[in-house]
Amino acid sequence: MTNIQLKTLAELKESLHISYSQLNTYMSCSLKYYFRYVQGRPAERISSALPFGRAIHSGIEHFYITYKRRQEKSDVKTVQELFADIFTTEINKAEAPVVFRRDENKDTSIEMGKAMLKAFCKSAKLKDTKIIGVEMPLSARLYTEKGKPTDFLIIGVIDALIKNCDGDIVAIDNKTALRAKSSEDVEKDLQFSVYGYLLCANKYVAKTEDAYCRMDVLRKLKRPKVEKYGTIRTPSDRKRLAKIAVNVLTAIENQAFYPVRSWMCSGCEYKNSCYSW
């Protein structure tokens, strides 16, 4: 791989870039993008789902790294304790009030997270599976629809990249959710289009081939379970992603920022700023 592909995510962020998080934020609510990425405005509140998700990811990351190094599964208790420590640290260091759902608090969240990770560890089938990378930062030049290079990189982090028992390379995105995902949710998820673009540009997938992806969803239930959804991203999907990214960047350059009302407004970290905008 090239030197730029070997850089850390922090180093990649120093370059002119756009990421899935930025694309998704702008497309969901461009005013939120303005507050977060243009103004760099501090959050007024933080949903507990954010530190919870980061802590869950850390537990899963440890699980995969352990298997990659030792070819054995990590002890469930170790994964659970890591989650609890990171979640507690994230809560304590938060620079804005952390807001929990009505039926949740720190202790119940830790209990739920531990149960979810236990379900994850038990459901993981890794026999004849090669772990290529965990939390892999990748970058690729963004091209226009006509094939001209832009000044921007697309950057992203693949939660886990594996080679399965059939020899297929699969990019995994780990999520937590209360409700099950629909096939439409998975097929239209732009995260996988970013994965496909990055995998192709970094020669994990040939230009004419489809990129295999999988969404592993840890359900927040009384008895947590893991649901896995396979999907592919075609060369046409990758071209469409580039077109979307270029047009989003054009809109940002033209300062097209406005509020979008949706179900996300109730938990938005910029609710007060939006009302006074």
pLDDT digits (tens, 9 = 90+) for 99-142: 999 889 999 999 999 999 999 999 998 988 999 999 999 999 99
| Pair 56, 8 in one domain | no
Beta strands in the chain (DSSP E): 17-19, 46-47, 98-99, 130-143, 149-163, 169-177, 211-219, 225-233
Token pair, residue 62, equals 């440890």
Predicted confidence (pLDDT) per residue in 185-236, tens digit: 999 999 999 999 999 999 999 999 999 999 999 999 999 999 999 999 999 9
Boundary (domain end) residue, out of 89, 124, 159: 124
Sign of CA dihedral 211, 58, 181, 157: negative
- Residue 3 has what pLDDT? 40
| Pair 146, 233 in one domain | yes
- Residue 178 has what pLDDT? 92
* Alpha carbons within 13 A on the beta-carbon side of 1: 16
pTM reported for the whole predicted model: 0.92
Residue type, 203: K
- Residue 186 has what pLDDT? 96
Continuous segment of H or E residues that includes residue 245 = helix 235-253
| Pair 143, 230 in one domain | yes
Boundary (domain end) residue, out of 58, 93, 124: 124
| Pair 144, 248 in one domain | yes
* Alpha carbons within 13 A on the beta-carbon side of 216: 21
Query: What is the C-alpha to C-alpha distance for residues 247 and 256, in angstroms, rounded to an integer?
Result: 11
Q: Given a cut of 90, is residue 183 above it in pLDDT? A: yes
- Residue 13 has what pLDDT? 74
In a domain, 277, yes or no: no
| Pair 157, 228 in one domain | yes
| Pair 63, 96 in one domain | yes
Question: Number of folded domains in the chain?
Answer: 2
Q: What is the mean pLDDT of the chain?
A: 94
| Pair 139, 72 in one domain | no
* Alpha carbons within 13 A on the beta-carbon side of 6: 3
Query: What is the C-alpha to C-alpha distance for residues 138 and 17, in angstroms, rounded to an integer?
Result: 12
Say which DSSP state 266 is in.
G
Query: What is the C-alpha to C-alpha distance for residues 83 and 21, in angstroms, rounded to an integer?
Result: 23
| Pair 33, 72 in one domain | no
Nearest to 236, CA basis, from 198, 199, 193, 206: 193
Q: Given a cut of 80, is residue 28 above it in pLDDT? A: yes
Query: What is the C-alpha to C-alpha distance for residues 192 and 177, in angstroms, rounded to an integer?
Result: 17
Q: Given a cut of 60, is residue 6 above it in pLDDT? A: no
| Pair 88, 165 in one domain | no
End-to-end C-alpha distance for the chain, whole angstroms: 45
- Paired residues of 219 in beta bridges: 177, 225
Q: According to DSSP H, which parts of 100-234 are helical?
A: 106-123, 183-187, 190-201
Predicted confidence (pLDDT) per residue in 259-273, tens digit: 999 999 988 999 999
- Paired residues of 214 in beta bridges: 172, 230
